[in-house]
Structure 1
């Protein structure tokens, strides 16, 4: 089963060329020699698979992920701080709306950013998104205690739109420079968000709860993010001209509706994301409320996100043996089980074990999100559009998931109810991915039979 998926994954890279001349290039085997960096520049239809410009672009995209999803995934620090110190009059559900809206907009804005990216507006998107993100964080530092709307507008709305403008362009630009190594490089870029989710919580916990305070602490983090985004904008470069006829989103959406595996992936992603962010938002607060100790609890998210980073990095190597669909299924089911396991969180050991295991499998899952969309896209010229459509719909799962969990938690902190809800939702999403894999294999077999029949005739 594993080898079948892996061979089909390789076939996708050889049969789905979207540019002239890709066919010849795609016949290169996995172990073939990569072009030397000192060779003359490759023609537009060939992929350099390396070189200073390609790796500088990958590094810039890595920094965008560090500052975008990496900051959003650190919202558990703010959830704890707002609950206990800054927005004490608000419910856990109301506070969760801030973080969930930010993450939702990061994905949902893909409908706009993906379309504009396909039309050649890459630099416009990343520069605008970077400036807006810096501005939003500095505006957040001006927010006053118990002024919910100020934090909601700056952190929920502004930061979410900014990250959304940057997210898809920073992932899709990898396809300009890499083809054979695309999955591996995408996992490297995606690991930026998990590394950011390690650094940001350490920095924010020590600043917000220390003598620096909220205002100067957020300003310090805003300065760090602004510097990294400036470096990212200077590093990233496009290589291919936009298509003469940009992808029509309406036409792409109609194709998606008829693409059963892709629809199943969207449905599974929506259900899975309802529960996925529950640990990221509530893990630190859960640890503190169970008396684990404030100092250690501050590092609970760090433990989770360090494992997440390891998961994302290793996913690019593991997928060679499992295939993308299989790895998505394994990681999704594992995440659902571990979320249910949070019902038993009551000791330091349980925090460490759950944090490490959930972080690792969540990293595997997130690292394979973009490669899965690429795998299920027959025509790679539509990848930006399909990513935008998929992330927009899946984003609604993110939007409603943690606020529902916060409402189920109540002011009495009944932890088992939101953990049960989130775990079941994620497991259901994993079941949808199993069905997706079956339909994908079936489509591949039908396509192979048709090609064989044409060859015989």
Structure 2
């Protein structure tokens, strides 16, 4: 019998006898269990990773994309173009292989660093783009910045799992509020510079230099702690029976997210154009601040409803929020004064931010909604410059998504035997 010291046992293997083993004896090999994974749930490295994830995950990706209403207004009103925005699509789709490289291969810093370099490079290329050369805008702003964002997004968010377990929701919530902060800073900065003395080229370059500094800090402070999946070895196989049991509601959830996100970004991209064409700026300079108001309100929308969802269940929060967000799009018909623009921006920013709860459930599917939603709205508006077409379209599809969400909530509540869903 082996004389190895006993320790935490994970497996006992019976080995066949060899030439040195007496006849009839059995060799027992004791395999020690791997050490337990320790998640500190705090500390300097954990909070620095939150700070690092805050920057690329939201401030310079979704935060910057939420300010694209400034570009929409500039390209459409001044240059007669409609910006087909593909950034959000690439953020999500490229995020899938980026996450695999992080978790499975352990190339976190290489992936995030490459995404940061590509993102900033394409911002500078956007500053050199001719607004009348459509392919230059698509290559730099749509494809290049989108791929760079995708390489940063998933790893920067997922690295929080290395440092947080009990307070993981808190850490993730802090990181996600970066989109509202970025959407507060960049629109004001771009409006003041692009429409001011700096002009389009230097206005975009100024935001690129700011982004370069922020991403340099982010790459320096984010750290990983756990070994990659390749070093950990194979994990447990997925429970296919459980997946099949939740398949019906899973498909319904994905369809819900697709429909809601298909129309949700319409005000973010077109509200500034709406304000300018209706001459609603006035002494409050709403043209400059309305997108910033939208994004500032979304900070509270991303935090307060999440806290409520932990108490009463995410479906019980999401269902009414989706209905209200859909109704607010339809309410744009009444946004015909400066005060109405401000009130609408606050309400829509809050409730659309709340609609992002549990967004990761259908990231791949919803990426196609992000890709096609605003171009469809632009095409509908371009047909005679009539606002009612995109407003009605986006409101109806969001109401359809809200209806699917209500049905999904009923199915989940029935399956769980509880109204806390």
TM-score by length of 1: 0.78
Q: Report the alpha carbon displacement of residue 445 of structure 1 after superposing the two structures with TM.
A: 4.5
1:48 to 1:445, Cα distance in 2 relative to 1, 3 A: farther
Partner of 1:149: 135
Write out aligned runs for 1:54-453 (5 A).
54-64=46-56, 65-85=58-78, 87-88=79-80, 90=81, 92=82, 95=83, 97=84, 99=85, 101-119=86-104, 120-243=106-229, 244-245=232-233, 255=243, 259-293=247-281, 295-370=285-360, 373=361, 390-410=362-382, 412-445=384-417
Q: Report the alpha carbon displacement of residue 111 of structure 1 after superposing the two structures with TM.
A: 2.3
Q: Report the alpha carbon displacement of residue 313 of structure 1 after superposing the two structures with TM.
A: 2.9
1:137 to 1:175, Cα distance in 2 relative to 1, 3 A: same
More helix by share: 1
TM-score by length of 2: 0.84
Q: Counterparts of 1:329 and 1:300 in 2: how far apart (Å)?
A: 26
Q: Counterparts of 1:439 and 1:124 in 2: how far apart (Å)?
A: 43
1:441 to 1:131, Cα distance in 2 relative to 1, 3 A: same
- Measured against aligned partners, the alpha-carbon deviations of 1:100-150 in whole angstroms (never above 9, x if no partner) come to x11111112222122222212222221111111011101111112311111
Structure 2 unaligned runs (5+)? 1-9, 11-34
Conserved 8 A contact 2:95-2:153: yes
Count of paired positions: 378
Q: Counterparts of 2:234 and 2:182 in 1: how far apart (Å)?
A: 33
Structure 1 unaligned runs (5+)? 1-20, 22-42, 374-389, 447-457
Structure scoring higher RCO (CA < 8 A, sep ≥ 6) equals: 1
Q: Counterparts of 1:257 and 1:172 in 2: how far apart (Å)?
A: 27
Q: Counterparts of 2:258 and 2:112 in 1: how far apart (Å)?
A: 26
RMSD over aligned Cα, in angstroms? 2.5
1:315 to 1:135, Cα distance in 2 relative to 1, 3 A: same
Q: Report the alpha carbon displacement of residue 272 of structure 1 after superposing the two structures with TM.
A: 0.8
Q: Report the alpha carbon displacement of residue 331 of structure 1 after superposing the two structures with TM.
A: 2.0
SS in 2 for 1:435: helix
Partner of 1:46: 38
Conserved 8 A contact 2:131-2:137: no
Conserved 8 A contact 1:278-1:402: yes
Q: Report the alpha carbon displacement of residue 78 of structure 1 after superposing the two structures with TM.
A: 0.2
Conserved 8 A contact 1:109-1:392: no
Question: Comparing 396-405 with 407-416, which one deviates more in the overlay?
Answer: 407-416
For the pair shown, the structure with the greater C-alpha radius of gyration is 2
Q: Counterparts of 1:391 and 1:169 in 2: how far apart (Å)?
A: 14
1:46 to 1:330, Cα distance in 2 relative to 1, 3 A: farther
1:131 to 1:317, Cα distance in 2 relative to 1, 3 A: same
Conserved 8 A contact 1:118-1:247: no
Conserved 8 A contact 1:301-1:355: yes
Q: Report the alpha carbon displacement of residue 308 of structure 1 after superposing the two structures with TM.
A: 0.9
SS in 1 for 2:356: helix
- Measured against aligned partners, the alpha-carbon deviations of 1:17-74 in whole angstroms (never above 9, x if no partner) come to xxxx9xxxxxxxxxxxxxxxxxxxxx75233221111111111111111001111111
Q: Counterparts of 1:369 and 1:270 in 2: how far apart (Å)?
A: 10
1:144 to 1:180, Cα distance in 2 relative to 1, 3 A: same
Which stretches of structure 1, 4 residues or longer, exceed 4 Å deviation after superposition? Answer: 245-252, 254-258
